Amino acid sequence: MTANPLDQPRTLLKTLQRAREIGLETGLKYVYEGNVPGEGGENTYCPSCGELLIERFGFCIKKNKMVGSQCFKCKTEIDGVF
């Protein structure tokens, strides 16, 4: 019998936060914490200057400070489709 993945307990927030930290420490530029809206791990930050570029709450974009596909502050090109 195959286990139902929906029967598993939720991943702890601190585990998701640590996984994000590890990704960022290893050089990944855009690492997000999923399914925990309001904790800050769903936002996009500039990998060069650290400025908050896209603020999200769940699937909603609250603020978008990018200019085209660049950071509004340091003009670094941000990967993605905008």
The predicted model scores a pTM of 0.81
Q: How many CA atoms lie within 13 Å of 47's alpha carbon, on the beta-carbon side?
A: 13
Q: In what order do the strands lie in the sheet with 44-45?
A: 44-45, 52-57, 60-64
pLDDT digits (tens, 9 = 90+) for 16-51: 999 999 999 999 999 999 888 888 899 999 999 999
2, two tokens: 């195959």
pLDDT at 62 over 80: yes
The whole-angstrom separation of Cα 70 and Cα 22 is 25
Q: Are strands 60-64 and 44-45 parallel, antiparallel or unpaired?
A: unpaired
Q: Tell me 67's DSSP state.
A: B
